[in-house]
Each structure stands twice: as structure tokens, then as C-alpha cells.
Structure 1
Amino acid sequence: MDVIPSYGEDDGTASTSGPALERVCLILCTRDRPAYLAEALATIRKVLPAAIEVIVVDSGSTSDETAQVVADAGVRYVRSDIPGLSIARNAGLAATEREFAIYTDDDCHVQPGFAERLVAPFAADGVGATTGRLLDIADDRPAPEAAPNRVLSRTNEGLDAGHGALMAFRVSLLRSLGGFDPLLGAGRRFGGAEDLDAFCRILASGSTLVQVPSAIVRHVFTRSDADYVTLNRAYGLGIGAMARKWVRSTGAPGRSLTALAVRRAAVRYVRRWRSARTRAGQAAYLRGFADGFREAARIPLDGLRFQDVQPPAAVAAASATTPTGRPLS
């Protein structure tokens, strides 16, 4: 693992040494969470350079409230009638003509300078993706000093590369790899790991991934105990299905990735044993992993992606236009 200098940490300013911001877009996927979306877009408007295109992908919302929020924010609206986070992310990827795509979520507040820092490593041709740092939105203390950027090059390092709440990709590369796996991620049976799977596929392609700790997003972590268990099971299902897919497609590399994922999960379970809440969450994760690994054994594959032979039912748009009269993209 190599170490390269971070950008903008010493004086709090963002680097301008990366690609021109006119070559960058930000994609935010959402579904039926207009209040969250309005807050996220308000934060984006405060800190995002005007040159960066903003695309909101509506992942099959059942009302026109999402379109209304987007219209009020004055950013681009794209709708996918087929719900699913990976499907929405791929719709955003297909919609942009920019060279670099940043992804964040509707329950996140991006921090000043995040975009410039996140895309700066793309000045190097071999960089296929970057990730930022996730902090709790409820923690109002100043962010701790950022570590130097790290360059990842081994496929298994994708499991620790970052989080879908703040990540960026070279658009042409991600498209060439087929985008995000449509069966992984929120809204599908295998409700997680679409981000980790994309990171691993980027690394397996021979490109590098750069972790940028000075690019920060604050995320809503607070969940009820029941939600926490449900979320961990979804993550386990996703990782388990991803692991089985990699074993089937790559053989020994997939087995190595699976062994690492299982070992990490077991260590987390032991370390969190004393807390009933986290113990329950990790137990749900392990059960989910086993179920996902088993269920993914017979799903048809297209290389390192599942074939989506039974996509979710389409959700009809609430209206044919946004509230401002602009046609839905």
C-alpha cells in the first residue's frame, strides 16, 4: 500500500491540481425521502463549486415530492421507474457526459472542499476510483486531522476501501466494467456491498483506488436497535452474495476475498460481544452472509456481475413533468 500526499489539509483549502471541475458531476440517488434530500441538496449548494453538474436520480419514488425538491434546488432530475440503489447509480452514470462522477447519499452532508479533494487524484491516469471519509453527522466536533492519502492496488483491499456515501469514479472505466451490480445494494434482496464490489472490480481491472481522508461527508448513523439489526443483515446478504459471485467467476482470488470477509466478520463479532446491540447486529450480519453466499450459487453471471433476470416491478411516475414543467429525464 503506497502513501501519497493529501490535498488541502495544511491550510484548509482544496487542491486545484486535479481535473477541471467542468469534467466532474455529482450523482445523488434517493427514494421517497424528500426531507432528507432537501437537506442534502442545501448542503451541496453551499459547498459545491458551480462548475460541477448535479444529478439527482429518483429511484422509483411513489409521489412527486422528490421531483418537487429537485426542481426547487434547480438541479438535474433523472428518474428510474425500476427501484434499487445500484440501478439508480447506473442510471446516473448513463446520464452524465462528464468524465468523473462523485456519488453521495441523501442522508449525508458533504463538507467544504470535499469535491476538489476527491477528484484531485484523477490527475494520475492509473487512478480509477477515490473514496472519502465518513463521520457521524451527530458529532459536531471539528474533524480530526486527516491522514495522508493512500493508494490501494490489490483486489482484496477493496473490502476496506471506503463507503458508498462518498466515492468517485472515472466514468469510462466504471462503464466498461458494467457499472454497479444491479442485484447488490439497497432495494434488492442482497441489500449491501454494491460499493465494495465496485471497488474490488476497479482494482481487479488493474487500476488503483485512492483513499482521500480530507474529503469528508457527515452521515446519519443513528438507528433504532431493530433498524441496526436489519441493516447489518442486509450488509451480510450483500457481502455473502458478492463473495459467492467472486468465487464462481475467479476461483482462487474469490476464495481469498471470501476468507478475508469471513475472518473480518468473525473478529468484529468477538470484539463487539460485550454490547448486546452490536452483538445482535454482528450475529445478523453473519447469518446474512451465510444466506447470501448460499442463495447466490445459481444466479446467472455476466463476468463479475449478476444477471438481473427478475428486476423489481416498475413504479409509475406520479406525473409526466417536474413541478416546474421540465420533462423528466
Structure 2
Amino acid sequence: WLSALTAPFAADPRTGCVTGLILPARLTTPAQVLLESHGGFAKGFAPRLYDPAAPPADQPLFPFTAGSFGSGANMAFRVSALRAVGGFDPATGTGTPARGGDDLYAFVRILTAGHRLRYTPDALVWHHHRETWQDLRNQAYGYGAGLTAYLTAVLCRHPALLPALLARLPRGLAHARAITAHRETSAAGVPGAHGTYEHPWPRTLSRLERRGMLYGPVGYARARWGIR
């Protein structure tokens, strides 16, 4: 795992961040199955390079679709690159009122500073998904909050990125509606292709995600105030 995660840094000096494949350690409860069917943490089984000098044609919201780059459960940074962009924002993360977004913030800052981000599925870890329905409810709300909290953090700390974000706002809102939409239970009712968002997602969880998105900027403000 560690060799696969660090090899891209040696191969390309422009690489500032590497993320890896995250698969479920178990799918034994309905909550675990639902999370994985909603996309889970995996970002596919093919390597991918994200280069700000050559934005991917299939991601019109790049680089603000940070959730597609990887997850904090399996990531590494070039120390000099992370320090140069100011490191993580301590007002984001699961232990703060913002409820998440620290990894997404770091991904976007690395890319907007001109560094490359590489996704390598050879660096594999197994993730223990939360087991209970209440855990999943908390996670859905946290996902929504972390998403808008990290965007708020980017704009507060780097206002020069505002024009780029505003230009992507209409498509971004449509994308947010799509990824949080309620989906009826399918015949199979099992996890499928990651990122397709075609599998079941209960209306209650959809609402919680969207409520979290509304709360995210407030949570980030609370976290910043607490730090000060």
C-alpha cells in the first residue's frame, strides 16, 4: 500500500497529492450496503491523473468536484506542496462544527496551486463502513455539510478563486441536486458501479444531505470563530 501510494511522487515531481482505492471491509448491514450503493469511497479501478494545465473534459466543474479525486481515508501529499498552500484548514474536518471537508479543501488547494493529483487504485485500503442506520444518517448529513463547508473555506481563504467558482455555479447546483437525489429501491438493491448514482438512496437520507449542505457555511463560520 505505502509503496503504491508514494511511487507517483518519485515518478513525477509535479505531483502534489496521491489518493488510492478504498473498498468496503464488510457489507453485512443495510446501512453499509446503502453507503456503498451511493458511491462509497472508491473512485474506480483505473489510474487517473488530474492536471490543472489540462482540465479533464468529463468534469466541467473541475477542480471543485473534489469528491471525485479521492478521500482522506487514503491520501498522501508532497510535504513542500502542502506547506506552500498553507496546509489543511483547521476549521474543516469531522471533529469540527463544519462536519468535514478537510480532505476536499486540501485537494482543491493543491490543484489550484498548479500541482498534479494522481489517483492510483494500486494503493488499496479496506474501510469499515458505519454499521447502524443512525450512523448512516449522521454520515449523510456530514457529507452535505462538509461539501459546502470546504467550498466556503476555499472562498474565505482564497477569494481570488471566486470568479472561477461563480462561473461553475449553475452546473454545480445541478450536480449537487443529482448526487443527493432520492432514488427508489431497485430490483437488485445491491451496490453497483461507483459514481453512477443509479442505486437506492432513501428520501430521508437525501433530505439530510441537502440540509447538511445548507448548514455547511454556518458550521464553517462556527468553527472559524471557535479557533479564533
TM-score for the superposition, normalised by structure 1: 0.51
**Which one-letter code corresponds to 2:5 in the other structure?**
L
Helix, strand or coil at the partner of 2:92: coil
- Deviation, structure 1 residue 225: 1.4
Do the aligned partners of residues 287 and 185 (structure 1) sit closer, same or farther apart at CA in structure 2, a change above 3 Å counting? same
Q: How far apart, CA to CA, are the structure 2 residues paired with 1:259 and 1:185?
A: 26
More strand by share: 1
Q: Look up the match of 1:150.
A: 48
Q: How far apart, CA to CA, are the structure 2 residues paired with 1:223 and 1:310?
A: 31
- Deviation, structure 1 residue 222: 3.6
Q: Look up the match of 1:135.
A: 23
2:107 is equivalent to residue 183 of structure 1? no
Q: How far apart, CA to CA, are the structure 2 residues paired with 1:254 and 1:246?
A: 10
Q: Look up the match of 2:58.
A: none
Do the aligned partners of residues 285 and 153 (structure 1) sit closer, same or farther apart at CA in structure 2, a change above 3 Å counting? same
**Which one-letter code corresponds to 1:153 in the other structure?**
D
Q: Look up the match of 2:188.
A: none
Q: Look up the match of 1:116.
A: 3
Do the aligned partners of residues 269 and 159 (structure 1) sit closer, same or farther apart at CA in structure 2, a change above 3 Å counting? closer
**Which one-letter code corresponds to 2:113 in the other structure?**
S
**Which one-letter code corresponds to 1:310 in the other structure?**
G
Do the aligned partners of residues 198 and 157 (structure 1) sit closer, same or farther apart at CA in structure 2, a change above 3 Å counting? same
Q: Look up the match of 1:244.
A: 152
Q: How far apart, CA to CA, are the structure 1 residues paired with 2:206 and 2:163?
A: 27
Q: What is the aligned residue count?
A: 185
RMSD: 2.7
Helix, strand or coil at the partner of 2:103: helix
Q: How far apart, CA to CA, are the structure 2 residues paired with 1:259 and 1:227?
A: 32
| Aligned with 1:192 (options 96, 100, 120) | 100
Preserved CA contact (<8 Å) 2:25 2:126: yes
Helix, strand or coil at the partner of 1:217: strand
Q: Look up the match of 1:224.
A: 132
TM-score for the superposition, normalised by structure 2: 0.71
Do the aligned partners of residues 135 and 225 (structure 1) sit closer, same or farther apart at CA in structure 2, a change above 3 Å counting? same
User: C-alpha deviations, 1:163-188, integer Å up to 9, x for none?
Assistant: 11100100111122221111111111
- Deviation, structure 1 residue 282: 2.3
- Deviation, structure 1 residue 265: 2.8
Preserved CA contact (<8 Å) 2:20 2:70: yes
Preserved CA contact (<8 Å) 1:133 1:213: yes
Do the aligned partners of residues 201 and 132 (structure 1) sit closer, same or farther apart at CA in structure 2, a change above 3 Å counting? same
Q: Look up the match of 2:56.
A: none
| Aligned with 2:184 (options 254, 274, 291) | 274
Q: Look up the match of 1:168.
A: 76
Map 1:20-35; keep pairs closer than 5 Å: none
Map 1:1-329; keep pairs closer than 5 Å: 114-123=1-10, 124-138=12-26, 147-154=45-52, 155-248=63-156, 249=159, 250-256=161-167, 259=170, 261-270=172-181, 272-275=182-185, 278-294=202-218, 296=220, 299=221, 308-311=224-227
Preserved CA contact (<8 Å) 1:246 1:253: no
**Which one-letter code corresponds to 2:183 in the other structure?**
W
- Deviation, structure 1 residue 252: 1.7
Helix, strand or coil at the partner of 2:202: helix
Preserved CA contact (<8 Å) 2:16 2:77: yes
Which structure is larger by alpha-carbon Rg, 1 or 2?
A: 1
- Deviation, structure 1 residue 115: 1.0
- Deviation, structure 1 residue 158: 2.8
Q: Quote the sequence identity (%).
A: 28
**Which one-letter code corresponds to 2:226 in the other structure?**
Q
More helix by share: 2
User: C-alpha deviations, 1:281-327, integer Å up to 9, x for none?
Assistant: 2211111111223555xx49xxxxx8x44239xxxxxxxxxxxxxxx
Gaps of 5+ in 2: 29-43, 53-62, 186-199
Gaps of 5+ in 1: 1-113, 141-145, 301-305, 313-329
| Higher RCO (CA-CA < 8 Å; seq separation 6+) | 2
| Moved segments of 4+, more than 6 Å | none
